[in-house]
Structure 1
Amino acid sequence: MLFPTVSFGIFFIFVFSAAWLLVRHHTWRLIFLTSVSYVFYAFWDWRFCFLLLFSSVVNWWFGELIYKSQGDARRNLVAAAVIIDLVVLAFFKYYNFFLGSLNVALEHLGARHDIPYLDIVLPVGISFFTFHAISYVVDIYRKKLARPAPLLHMLLYISFFPQLVAGPIVRASHFLPQLEHPVDPDDIRATRAYLLILGGMFKKVVVSSFLAASVVEPVFFDPGSYGARDLLLAVYGYALQIYCDFSAYTDIAIGVAALLGYRFPENFDQPYRAIGFRDFWRRWHISLSSWLRDYLYIPLGGNTGDWRRYKNLMITMLLGGLWHGAAWNFAIWGGIHGGLLVVEHRFLGERWTESARSWVKVLGTFITFQLVCLTWIFFRAVDLPHALSFIGGFSRVSATSTLATPFTLILISLLLAAQFLPTDRMAILERYAIRMPPIAQGAVAGALMIAIFSIGPTGIAPFIYFQF
Structure 2
Amino acid sequence: MIFNSYTFIVFFVIVLVLHNLPFSWKTKKVNLLAASYIFYAAWNPPFILLLWLSTIVDYFVGKALYTQNNIHKRRGLLVISLIGNLGMLCFFKYGGFLMENFVSVVNALGWSYHPPKSNIILPAGISFYTFTTLCYTIDMYKRESKPIPTLLDFGLFVTFFPHLVAGPIVRPPQLAAQFEQPRTATHKQLLDGLFLLSLGLFMKVVLADGMLAASADAVFNTPQALTALDAWMGVLAFTGQIFFDFAGYSMCAVGAALSLGFTLPQNFQTPYAATGFSDFWRRWHITLSAWLRDYLYIPLGGNRKGKFRTYVNLMITMLLGGLWHGANWTFVAWGGLHGLYLWVEKFFEDRKNSRLAAAAPASNPQLPKAYRGILYALLTFFLVNITWVFFRATTFAGAGKILTAMAGLAQGAVPLLSSLAILKVAVVIAGMLIVHWVLRNTKVIDAAYKLPWWITGTVWSAMLILLILSQESSSTFIYFQF
TM-score by length of 2: 0.90
CA distance in 2, matches of 1:412, 1:445: 19
Return closer, same or farther for 1:446/1:311 CA change in 2, 3 Å cut-off: closer
Q: Deviations over 1:57-92 (max 9, x none)?
A: 010011111011123432332233122200110000
386-395 or 422-431: which moved more? 422-431
CA distance in 1, matches of 2:433, 2:223: 24
Instruction: Name the SS of the counterpart of 2:127 in structure 1.
Output: helix
Q: 2:470 aligns with which of 445, 452, 456?
A: 456
Contact 1:223 1:231 in 2 (8 A): no
Return closer, same or farther for 1:338/1:193 CA change in 2, 3 Å cut-off: same
Structure 2, unaligned runs of 5 or more:
none
Return closer, same or farther for 1:114/1:376 CA change in 2, 3 Å cut-off: same
Question: Where does residue 344 of structure 1 map in the other structure?
Answer: 345
Query: Within 5 Å, which residues of 2 pair with 1:69-468?
Result: 69-70=68-69, 71-186=71-186, 189-222=189-222, 224-304=224-304, 305-349=306-350, 358=369, 359-394=371-406, 395-396=409-410, 402-405=417-420, 406-422=423-439, 423-424=441-442, 425-430=444-449, 432=451, 447-448=461-462, 450-456=464-470, 458-468=472-482
CA distance in 1, matches of 2:295, 2:351: 21
1:132 Cα shift?
Answer: 0.6
Contact 2:148 2:154 in 1 (8 A): no
72-81 or 279-288: which moved more? 72-81
CA distance in 2, matches of 1:169, 1:247: 13
Contact 1:67 1:148 in 2 (8 A): no
1:127 Cα shift?
Answer: 0.4
CA distance in 1, matches of 2:351, 2:141: 30
1:364 Cα shift?
Answer: 1.9
CA distance in 2, matches of 1:450, 1:143: 46
CA distance in 1, matches of 2:259, 2:228: 46
Q: Deviations over 1:235-269 (max 9, x none)?
A: 11110110001000000100000111111001111
Contact 1:194 1:445 in 2 (8 A): no
Return closer, same or farther for 1:325/1:15 CA change in 2, 3 Å cut-off: same
Return closer, same or farther for 1:378/1:392 CA change in 2, 3 Å cut-off: same
Number of residues of Structure 1 aligned to a counterpart in Structure 2: 461
Q: Deviations over 1:350-385 (max 9, x none)?
A: 997x99962433332122111110010110012222
1:317 Cα shift?
Answer: 0.8
CA distance in 2, matches of 1:118, 1:80: 27
Letter in 2 for 1:411: V
Q: Percent identity?
A: 36
Contact 1:144 1:173 in 2 (8 A): no
Structure 1 stretches of 4+ with a deviation exceeding 6 A read: 397-401, 443-446
Contact 2:107 2:113 in 1 (8 A): yes
Q: Deviations over 1:169-211 (max 9, x none)?
A: 1112211111111115448622321221121111111110123
Contact 1:378 1:387 in 2 (8 A): yes
Return closer, same or farther for 1:192/1:93 CA change in 2, 3 Å cut-off: same
1:100 Cα shift?
Answer: 0.3
TM-score by length of 1: 0.92
Query: Within 5 Å, which residues of 2 pair with 1:31-46?
Result: 31-46=30-45
Return closer, same or farther for 1:384/1:29 CA change in 2, 3 Å cut-off: same
Contact 1:33 1:160 in 2 (8 A): yes
CA distance in 1, matches of 2:162, 2:435: 26
Contact 1:55 1:133 in 2 (8 A): yes
CA distance in 1, matches of 2:220, 2:471: 20
CA distance in 2, matches of 1:176, 1:457: 34
Structure 1, unaligned runs of 5 or more:
none
CA RMSD, Structure 1 to Structure 2 (Å): 2.5
Contact 1:336 1:375 in 2 (8 A): yes
1:337 Cα shift?
Answer: 0.7
